[in-house]
Amino acid sequence: MKRILVTGSSGFIGSHLVDYLKSKRCYYVGGVDIVQRPYEIGKCDEFVKADLRQANMASAVVRGFDEVYHLAADMGGIGYIETHKAKIIHDNALINLNILEGCRRGGVGRLFFSSSACVYPGYIQNKELVNLKEQDAYPADCEDGYGWEKLNMERNCRHYAEDYGLSVRIARFHNIFGPHGAYDGGREKAPAALCRKVIEAAGEIEVWGDGEQIRSFCFVEDCVRGIYRLMNSDYDHPLNIGSDRAITINGLLDIIEGFEGKKLKRVYDLEAPKGVRFRNSDNTLMKGVLGWEPTTSLEEGLKQTYLWIKERLSLENR
């Protein structure tokens, strides 16, 4: 039975990935995280609470595993990553280098790294809608802080593959959302934040920016299927994993309001963090490499997310 470790196993994507791997019934799945959340859905065969910023801890937890799916990171939505740049770079650089070196020393067979669409240059995302291809990452002009940290780790993975023979797979995630993600506290992303706001709103709702920012959103269950396919492929370059359906934030809000027939007055905060103007995934290479693309509609994914957040808020208010 292949032994697989998921870092960040108590996190949003990590916990869904643990459940997906366990559903295969052919893997021993270990998990490591700095916390173990009370509503964690992942059911690891073993779980270790560890701070991967400590090199000795990282080396110890990866030892004995055949593959490592590395999702542990300090991250959040645009409001968080624009206001915690130094902390994100510091923590994630330590975590990533420690995991890389631990995998090298521990003889891990393959490492998966979760990168981000934030590596793509701002200069091609602020004039018009462009479907971002993997080769568009250079010349580099990443999201300040978080994006540069992700691109740097991509390069580190490449060098460890070239110099030490470590087998690495890299996915660039495009706005992953779904149940069990953050929905308040500052780390939430747009779909979860808007679901929470609509649920709580009576007459009006605050929207960051003018609402005409364009993004694509990928449901978490599709994301983990894509991760698994990539990890078991022969492709060893960065690959987009996301939806190629572009939508404005206003359009996203239209869908969410429709779940309960609400029509709220929109108050636009033009000074709030809002990121690049346009961002959408080009899935041409992903379809060719994996023979696959996401299948969950944005409406269905949002509905599942909305209902989960509504249930959580109801429990909190009892």
Q: Check: CB of residue 190 under 8 Å from CB of residue 207.
A: no
User: What residue type is 36 in one-letter code?
Assistant: Q
Task: Give yes or no: residues 233 and 210 share one domain.
Answer: no
Give yes or no: 268 in active site. no
Task: Give yes or no: residues 122 and 65 share one domain.
Answer: yes
Containing structural domain, residue 260:
190-215+245-279+296-316
pTM: 0.96
For residue 176, the model assigns a pLDDT of 97
Distance between start and end Cα atoms, the chain:
44
In this structure, is residue 203 part of a structural domain?
yes
| Dihedrals phi, psi of 55, to nearest 5 degrees | -60, -40
Number of folded domains in the chain? 2
In this structure, is residue 287 part of a structural domain?
no
For residue 40, the model assigns a pLDDT of 57
In this structure, is residue 300 part of a structural domain?
yes
| Dihedrals phi, psi of 46, to nearest 5 degrees | -145, 145
Task: Give yes or no: residues 204 and 145 share one domain.
Answer: no
Task: List the alpha helices (DSSP H) in the chain.
Answer: 12-23, 55-62, 78-81, 85-106, 146-164, 190-200, 220-231, 249-258, 284-290, 298-316
Written as tens digits, the pLDDT of the chain (318 aa) is 999 999 999 999 999 999 999 999 999 999 999 987 655 556 899 999 999 999 999 999 999 999 999 999 999 989 999 999 999 999 999 999 999 999 999 999 999 999 999 999 999 999 889 899 999 999 999 999 999 999 999 999 999 999 999 999 999 999 999 999 999 988 999 999 999 999 999 899 999 999 999 999 999 999 999 999 999 999 999 999 999 999 999 999 999 999 989 999 999 999 999 999 999 999 999 999 999 999 999 999 999 999 999 999 998 887
Helical (H) or strand (E) element with 236? none
Q: Check: CB of residue 91 under 8 Å from CB of residue 285.
A: no
In this structure, is residue 52 part of a structural domain?
yes
Task: Give yes or no: residues 194 and 128 share one domain.
Answer: no
For residue 117, the model assigns a pLDDT of 97
Task: Give yes or no: residues 15 and 164 share one domain.
Answer: yes
Task: Give yes or no: residues 79 and 6 share one domain.
Answer: yes
In this structure, is residue 285 part of a structural domain?
no
Task: Give yes or no: residues 29 and 95 share one domain.
Answer: yes
**Residue 169 three-state SS:** strand
Give the CATH number for residue 169.
3.40.50.720
Give the CATH number for residue 255.
3.90.25.10
In this structure, is residue 289 part of a structural domain?
no
In this structure, is residue 288 part of a structural domain?
no
Which residues lie below 8 Å from residue 53, measured CB to CB, with a gap of 6+?
Answer: 91, 94, 95, 98
Task: Give yes or no: residues 159 and 304 share one domain.
Answer: no
Which residues lie below 8 Å from residue 311, measured CB to CB, with a gap of 6+?
Answer: none
Task: Give yes or no: residues 134 and 29 share one domain.
Answer: yes
Task: Give yes or no: residues 128 and 237 share one domain.
Answer: yes
Task: Give yes or no: residues 55 and 144 share one domain.
Answer: yes
Name the catalytic one among 69, 120, 146, 306: 146
In this structure, is residue 162 part of a structural domain?
yes
For residue 127, the model assigns a pLDDT of 86
Task: Give yes or no: residues 170 and 262 share one domain.
Answer: no
Q: Exposed (0-12), middle (13-18) or buried (19+): which is 316, by Cβ within 10 Å?
A: exposed
Query: What is the rounded (10 degree) CA torsion for 214, 224, 50, 99?
Result: -90
Q: What are 173's strand-pairing partners?
A: 116, 241
